[in-house]
């Protein structure tokens, strides 16, 4: 049990919370390693906040025949490092942002399961548990994302990661966070505190799976002006379905802005499949998106051709 009373064992199998950089190497045969983002304490957190807990209700439906862990009340954001076995390491890494409307995080569906799949490609998966619920709006999760990218780059050699092949992958609200980071990397949104904060927090590539909140509104096809897409914005891979209640206009608006800026982008739009499926298989063609992503990563040389 952690200090909030929630067993985080589901995140890493065995929890190894550490502060700062005094940690051991999460290599082959070891459990995933969890690091606190903000030692000695998270900025902006005061007494009286909701305690971290699994907010899954009995009425919540199943995805792919299984329930979903919905983590809420996160005030101590962390990264958990999932490394592939050494014989399969490619040097690539992806920081994963689960979705949940900035109220909860779908920790297994859009987190741990994704990191394990990345490991099968020889890619290090790094799961970010960012602060939710977020009343700011969304400034604290962006701080967490910027901080996470800096920490990963600062530990790249130790974790056998190529610092120029670090991507981000976000689902739904996590897709909004991934796009926000990809458009807001020039300057930290918080006061830098250590050497990790002085390294670039620009992702080398961005993966958006059914992203939310990118368009001006649910009925608009124009990108929200908060997203400043330029020629320096990372290349992107985007997936969504036509019948997604969040609105396929979010993906199309971001894709159009990338094309206009001359940024490499690939978008896959499917007719059916809805929202919130993660990478759990179904009879829908959209379930093939992980294979399409792997192909794109190889074509962009973020993943070696032989893996």
Helix (H) or strand (E) holding 115: helix 113-120
Produce one character per residue of 285-302: b if its CB has 16 or more CB atoms within 10 Å, e if not. ebbebbeebbebbeebeb
- Residue 117: its pLDDT value, please? 98
User: How many whole angstroms separate alpha carbon 271 and alpha carbon 105?
Assistant: 26
Is the confidence at residue 239, as pLDDT, over 90? yes
What is the arithmetic mean of pLDDT over 73-89?
Answer: 94
Phi, psi of 197 (to 5 degrees): -75, -10
Report how far apart, in Å, the C-alpha atoms of 15 and of each of 29, 68, 274 are: 15, 20, 34
Domains of the chain in start order, with CATH, are 9-299 (3.40.50.1820)
Point out which residues pair with 125 in neighbouring strands. 82, 94
pLDDT tens, residue by residue, 197-209: 999 999 999 999 9
Is the confidence at residue 185, as pLDDT, over 50? yes
Point out which residues pair with 266 in neighbouring strands. 237
Share of the chain above pLDDT 90, in %: 77
Model confidence at 46, in pLDDT bands (50, 70, 90)? low
Is the confidence at residue 14, as pLDDT, over 70? no
Model confidence at 73, in pLDDT bands (50, 70, 90)? very high
Phi, psi of 186 (to 5 degrees): -70, -35
pTM above 0.85, yes or no: yes
pLDDT tens, residue by residue, 56-72: 898 898 999 999 999 99
Q: Which residue has the higher pLDDT, 12 or 222?
A: 222
What is the arithmetic mean of pLDDT over 232-261?
Answer: 97
Average pLDDT, the chain: 89
Contact 210, 175 (CB under 8 A): yes
- Residue 9: its pLDDT value, please? 35
Instruction: Dig out the tokens for 61 from the structure.
Output: 């439906």
pLDDT tens, residue by residue, 127-171: 999 999 876 777 999 999 999 999 999 999 999 999 999 999 999
What is the arithmetic mean of pLDDT over 177-192?
Answer: 96
């Amino acid at each position: 049990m952690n200090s909030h009373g929630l067993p985080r064992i589901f995140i890493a199998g065995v929890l190894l919370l550490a502060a700062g950089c005094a940690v051991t190497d999460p290599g082959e045969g070891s459990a995933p390693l969890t690091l606190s983002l903000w030692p000695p304490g998270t900025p902006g957190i005061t007494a009286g906040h909701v305690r971290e807990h699994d907010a899954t209700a009995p009425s919540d439906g199943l995805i792919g025949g299984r329930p979903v862990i919905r983590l809420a009340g996160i005030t101590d954001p962390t990264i958990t490092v999932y490394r592939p076995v050494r014989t399969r390491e490619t040097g690539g890494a992806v920081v994963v942002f689960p979705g949940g409307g900035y109220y909860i995080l779908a920790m297994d569906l859009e987190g741990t399961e994704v990191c394990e799949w990345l490991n099968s490609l020889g890619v290090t998966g790094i799961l970010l548990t960012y602060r939710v619920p977020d009343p700011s709006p969304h400034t604290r999760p962006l701080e967490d994302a910027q901080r996470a990218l800096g920490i990963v780059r600062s530990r790249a050699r130790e974790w056998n990661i190529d610092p120029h092949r670090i991507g981000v992958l976000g689902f739904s609200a996590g897709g909004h966070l991934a796009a926000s980071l990809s458009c807001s990397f020039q300057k930290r949104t918080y006061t830098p505190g250590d050497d990790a904060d002085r390294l670039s927090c620009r992702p080398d590539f961005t993966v958006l799976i059914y992203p939310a909140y990118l368009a001006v509104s649910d009925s608009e096809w124009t990108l929200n002006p908060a997203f400043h897409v330029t020629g320096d914005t990372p290349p992107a891979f985007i997936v969504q379905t036509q019948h997604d209640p969040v609105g396929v206009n979010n993906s199309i608006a971001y894709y159009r802005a990338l094309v206009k800026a001359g940024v490499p982008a690939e978008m896959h739009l499917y007719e059916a499949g809805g929202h919130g499926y993660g990478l759990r298989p179904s009879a829908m063609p959209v379930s093939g998106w992980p294979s399409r992503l792997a192909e794109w990563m190889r074509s962009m040389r973020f993943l070696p051709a032989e893996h």
